[in-house]
Structure 1
Amino acid sequence: MKISRRKTLAAALSLAIVGLAGCGQKEASKSASAAASAPASTAAAPAAAEPLKVAFVYVGPVGDAGWTYAHDVGRKAVEAKFGDKVKTSFVENVPESAADAERVIRDLANQGNKVIFGTTFGYMEAMLKVAKDFPDVKFEHATGYKTAENLAQYDVRTYEGAYLAGIAAGKMSKSGKLGVVASLPIPEVLRNINSFTLGARSVNPKATTKVVWVNKWFDPGKEREAATTLIGQGVDVLMQNTDSAAVVQTAEEKGVYAFGWDSDMSKFGAKAHLAASVIDWGVYYTKRVDEVLNKTWKSETTWWGLKENMIDLKAFNTSLSDEVKKLIADKRQGVIDGTGPIWKGPIKDNIGKEVLGKDAVADDKFLHDIKFYVEGVEGKVPG
């Protein structure tokens, strides 16, 4: 019997298709079996944890010098240390008025921030109020004195930097007349003015300090005007407790000395800038954020200074001799180890009343309650 080539080819093709189908079924069976026996570890990895949202509220512009700038350097230190574990943000130029501060702080809490740092004294009441409504948020308030279960308070011993600056001022002043451009007459600022004067009089007992108040933390125009007034009164070394670089700039223009405050301000007046009292907020901010991440954060009061490397006198002018630098270094070490406390009696106020007895050393309560000028500061504390 004769079979055509067409029929033979068709039969072969049918057999091939059946064979391929069989192979396909075997491979599918193998795949299903492999999937069923695959270990659980090959399952999809869980989603990465959301970064901790950390917010900062600033009283002034970040700028490139001063109080707010120093805080923002601290914020960046948090980012550098924790990377994608955190997400930071800030709001600048927030007034200290209760309504404005509360609105901003409440908004940040509503945005999901779990840590909020308020960086000026005037935010205290607003932070206290908002903290009650957000018990799962950690609030941190700078320079105040009230705390709550989820509201901590922190500060830096700026008076230690002011004291060291005073030593340099006492050594460098030709007239013995020093000046301070001051912000607000609160204990923090009075403590700095007085410590600056104590430092100066420790090396020049005849040194005196004049003060001009601008009643604002940041107002370059008023700061410049105050500095000009002091220079006109014979002052040849200026310190400030304000936030802009206007005082250093004015000192450079007028040919007198000045100190950077809260940050290095030497670029604003290379000849005038004797040194800077520099705050390192990153020391504190990285510690507290780490505690939140590790769930060990608790409400507490912190006041750090030279000992904890949170403040120091830096960026010395070349006009300061090695002798003066060594003197400052020795005084610095005395403050750190307790052998040379700044506030050790006898100390009188500027009307002759003894405020600290012989050999008595001021405790933190005394320092927080200062409402007077020490001997050597001229004028009266504003009422």
Structure 2
Amino acid sequence: MIRRTFLGTTLLGAAALAFMQPAFAQDDKVKVGFVYVGPIGDGGYTYEHDQARLKVEEHFGDKVETVYQESVPEGADAERVMTQMALSGADLIFATSFGFMDPTINTAKKFPDVKFEHATGYKRADNVGTYSARFYEGRAVLGHIAGKMTETNKIGYIASYPIPEVIRGINASYIAAKKANPDVEFNIVWAFTWFDPAKEADAAKALIEQGADVILQHTDSTAPHAAAAEAGNVIAFGQASDMAEYKPSPRVSSIIDNWAPYYIDRVQAVMDGTWESDDTWDGIGPGMVEIGEITAVPDDVKAEALEIRDRIAAGEYHPFTGPLNRQDGSEWLKEGETADDATLLGMDFYVEGLTGDIPN
């Protein structure tokens, strides 16, 4: 777990922190708010965040009260929602989408006694922590399966927004697929949405018409799976949740975001008066990223994918290991060299072999 603490470490600072953040009495109820970019029934990213919220309730029982707002647009509406949560007595607010970053910072300034946690962003304050998952680790596992399973050598990728998190995922998937199948090609469609079933379905259909028989996605609905099922002989992968309704095919595996342990830990820290502004970026090893059941693929492909998963979890393999070049052919990583987190967190380039431009 990566953690960077931005509060003082002197004894005086620690004492002041303890004074400012008293532990909750046994009969005090902690109020926790969740702000979602999509509907809780999206079957993907928001669904998993809400499942984690329910596990917080299950874990703490009547010691907590949770509230949530779904389908909140990224921008001014998010600030309004968080302001209302703070005014209604929230002690801790989880803002769960990248585009909530500035609204989180703005709201936190108005409510210094409320703790805020922002998912997938990078701006912090004394009362704002950040957290994310190393989704790219899971995408490397799925990329291997994709490379092994394609018969047309054409893989379609539905991307949401051109931010480092999404670009990392494309690169990780492509690198793994290319290692598994040197003839593989990626075709990327930018949907410019996290959740829009109609747009996602159209993107999947367009990719399938162009010859893709494998669909990867960094959008949150199951619409691409429905398109794959309708086309036949096309496979897809669950994004953020298992999307198990499409098992055993076309959904042949998935990346599952497991937020519950983190949420429980952070709520407990508020209860104990030990909450601090941290940055957390965890992956397969700590369990924040899980690989869903692998179905409807040959046994050797499944075994290889699980071996990659296990090696990543054990720290024996990094999905971004050289030799790797940037798209323009310039050297990025030498033989055996691995990418540093700073580069990954700001990734704004494709690796060699990917075609097309990253939108501005």
Aligned pairs for 1:240-255 (under 5 A) are 240-255=217-232
1:347 maps onto 2:324 in alignment: yes
Question: Could you give the per-residue CA deviations for residues 102-147 of structure 1, whole angstroms, max 9, x where no partner exists?
Answer: 1111110000000000000111111111111211111000000010
In structure 1, C-alpha distance between the alignment counterparts of 2:36 and 2:155, rounded to whole Å: 30
Does residue 229 (structure 1) correspond to residue 206 (structure 2)? The answer is: yes
Q: Secondary structure at the match of 2:179?
A: helix
| Residue 377 (structure 1) shift | 2.1
Q: For residues 370 and 124 of structure 1, what CA distance do their matches in structure 2 show?
A: 18
- Secondary structure of the residue aligned to 1:104 is helix
Mapped contact 2:323–2:337 kept (Cα < 8 A)? yes
Map 1:276-287 to 2 at 5 A: 276-287=254-265
Quote the residue 1:101 is aligned against. 78
**In structure 2, C-alpha distance between the alignment counterparts of 1:303 and 1:123, rounded to whole Å:** 18
Unaligned runs of 5+ in 2: 1-24
**1:166-209 C-alpha deviation (Å, 9 max, x unpaired):** 01111111111111111101110000011111111121122121
* Partner AA of 1:125 in structure 2: D
Which of the residues 133, 136, 147 maps onto 1:156? 133
Whether the 8 Å CA contact 2:327–2:352 is kept in 1: the answer is: yes
Does residue 134 (structure 1) correspond to residue 111 (structure 2)? The answer is yes
Instruction: Identify the residue that residue 313 of structure 1 maps to in structure 2.
Output: 291
The answer to whether the 8 A contact 1:207-1:376 is kept is no
Partner Cα distance (2:329, 2:202) in 1: 31
Q: How does 1:105-124 map to 2 (within 5 A)?
A: 105-124=82-101
Q: Does 1:77 align with 2:51?
A: no
CA distance in 2, matches of 1:271, 1:328: 17
Provide the residue aligned with 1:264 in structure 2: 242
Q: In the TM superposition, what is the alpha-carbon distance from 1:324 to its structure 2 partner?
A: 1.6
| Letter aligned with residue 139 of structure 1 | F
Give the deviation of 1:376 after TM superposition.
2.9
Match of 1:299 in 2: 277
TM-score by structure 1 length?
Answer: 0.85
Are the equivalent residues in 1 in contact too, given 2:127–2:277 (CA < 8 A)? yes
| Distance apart, 1:233 and its partner CA | 0.9
Q: Please give the alpha-carbon distance, in whole angstroms, between the structure 2 residues aligned to 1:362 and 1:126.
A: 31
Q: Which amino acid aligns with 2:52?
A: G
- Name the CA distance, whole Å, in 2 between partners of 1:173 and 1:93: 35
> SS of 1:262's equivalent?
coil
CA contact (8 A) 2:139 2:173 kept: yes
Match in the other structure for 1:185: 162
Q: Secondary structure at the match of 2:202?
A: helix
2:30 corresponds in structure 1 to: 52
State the shift of 1:48 in Å.
6.7
Corresponding letter in the other structure for 2:318:
P
What amino acid does structure 1 have at the position aligned with 2:170?
Answer: I
What CA distance in whole angstroms lies between the structure 1 residues aligned with 2:258 and 2:115?
21
Q: Distance in 2 between matches of 1:222 and 1:64?
A: 14
Contact 1:252 1:270 in 2 (8 A): no
1:146 corresponds to which letter in structure 2? K
Distance change (3 Å), C-alpha of 1:145 and 1:95: same
Deviates more, 1:367-376 or 1:304-313: 367-376
Tell whether 2:66 aligns with 1:88.
yes
Report Cα offsets for 1:204-257 as digits up to 9, x if no partner. 122121100110111111100000111111111011000111011111111100
Residues 251, 269 of structure 1: 8 Å contact kept: no
Identical aligned residues as a percent: 45
Which structure's CA Rg is the greater one?
1
Partner in structure 2 of residue 333 of structure 1: 310
Find the aligned partners of 1:153 and 1:215 in 2 and give their Cα distance. Answer: 23
Cα offset, 1:329, TM superposition: 1.7
**TM-score, with structure 2 as normaliser:** 0.90
Cα distance in structure 2, aligned partners of 1:123 and 1:310: 21
In the alignment, is the contact (CA less than 8 A) between 2:138 and 2:309 conserved in 1? no
For residues 165-204 of structure 1, the aligned pairs below 5 Å read 165-204=142-181
Instruction: Give structure 1 regions of 4+ aligned residues with deviation exceeding 4 angstroms.
Output: none
Q: Partners in 1 of 2:184 and 2:271 — Cα distance?
A: 49
The CA RMSD over aligned residues, in Å, is 1.3
Instruction: Say if 2:195 is the partner of 1:218.
Output: yes
Q: Is the 8 A contact 2:42 2:220 kept in 1?
A: no
Give 3-state SS (helix, strand or coil) of 1:307's partner: coil
Q: 2:158·2:203 contact (CA, 8 Å) conserved in 1? A: yes
Contact 2:155 2:212 in 1 (8 A): yes
Per-residue deviation, 1:269: 5.9
Please identify which structure carries the higher helix content.
1
Name the amino acid aligned to 2:298: S
